């Protein structure tokens, strides 16, 4: 099932907040750059094979990297203001699952799924810090 039509996020606001930064919008290139090693897993492949980035920032200078970081910092301020007002926000623009979780911790279903498909914590290590990989003795693996 393909992604919903563009835009899903306020791409125009990001571009406006980063004058001078080159952004790529070519659909074929975005699809190519959106590929990851998810295809190793049949489950993840089904879930992600149709996902594609909406835009790709291509900063050329330190100042452009700073402009993108500033736009990200502004997003963090907006999320913090909403959460302070009692409105939970699930932020997908983070480095770890817990950072983007509505409750700032991986819910049991996420941890349970991780334990099921990756008991040793080999896939995306560090992406879910609250997950503690099982030892071979715990999984019955000979090692």
- CA separation (Å) from 82 to 70, 79, 86, 105, 110? 19, 5, 7, 18, 24
Q: Is there a single domain that holds both residue 40 and residue 74?
A: yes
What is d(CA 64, CA 143) in angstroms, rounded to the nearest whole number? 47
Is residue 2 pLDDT above 70, yes or no?
A: no
126: Cβ–Cβ under 8 A, 6 or more apart, which residues? 96
Residue in the block written with tokens 């070519």:
26
Residues 5 and 48 in one domain: yes
- As a whole number, mean pLDDT of residues 111-127 equals 78
Q: Are residues 55 and 124 in the same domain?
A: no
What's the pTM? 0.48
- CA 70 – CA 75 distance, rounded (Å): 9
Q: How would you classify residue 26: left for phi > 0, otherwise alpha for psi between -120 and 50, otherwise beta?
A: beta
User: How many residues would you count in the chain?
Assistant: 143
Looking at residue 22, its pLDDT comes to: 94
Residues 128, 83: one domain? no
The count of other CB atoms within 10 Å of the CB of residue 108 is 8
Q: List the domain range (segments joined by +) for residue 142.
A: 92-143
pLDDT (average), residues 92-103: 58
Regarding whether 110 and 49 lie in a shared domain, the answer is no
Q: When comparing pLDDT for 94 and 57, which is higher?
A: 57
pLDDT tens-digit series, residues 15-74: 888 889 999 999 999 888 887 777 778 877 787 778 888 889 999 999 999 998 898 888
Q: Which pLDDT does position 117 carry in this prediction?
A: 83
* Co-location of 11 and 47 in the same domain: yes
Cα(49)–Cα(92) distance, rounded to whole angstroms?
18
Q: Are residues 79 and 106 in the same domain?
A: no
Comparison of pLDDT for 95 and 110, the residue scoring more: 110
Number of compact structural domains in the chain? 2
What gap in Å lies between CA 110 and CA 102, rounded to an integer?
12
Q: Within 10 Å of residue 131's Cβ, how many Cβ atoms?
A: 19
pLDDT greater than 80 at residue 140: no
Q: What percent of the chain has pLDDT over 70?
A: 73
Q: Do 111 and 66 reside in the same domain of the chain?
A: no
Residue 106 above 50 pLDDT? Answer: no
Cα–Cα distance for residue pair 83/24, rounded to 1 Å:
32
- The pLDDT assigned to 60 comes to 94
Same domain, 6 and 49: yes
Final residue in a domain of this structure, among 69, 89, 109: 89
Q: What is the percentage of the chain residues whose pLDDT exceeds 90?
A: 11
Residue 64 phi/psi, 5-degree rounding, is -70, -35
């Amino acid at each position: 099932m393909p992604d919903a039509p563009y835009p899903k996020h306020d791409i125009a606001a990001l571009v406006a907040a980063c004058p001078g930064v080159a952004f790529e919008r070519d659909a074929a290139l975005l699809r190519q750059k959106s590929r990851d090693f998810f295809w190793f897993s049949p489950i993840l492949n089904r879930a992600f094979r149709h996902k594609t980035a909406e835009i790709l920032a291509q900063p050329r200078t330190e100042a452009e990297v700073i402009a993108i970081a500033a736009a990200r910092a502004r997003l963090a301020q907006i999320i913090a203001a909403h959460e302070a007002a009692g409105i939970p926000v699930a932020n997908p623009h983070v480095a770890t699952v817990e950072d983007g979780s509505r409750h700032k911790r991986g819910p049991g279903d996420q941890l349970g799924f991780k334990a099921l498909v990756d008991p040793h914590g080999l896939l995306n290590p560090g992406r879910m810090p609250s997950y503690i990989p099982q030892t071979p003795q715990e999984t019955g693996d000979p090692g």
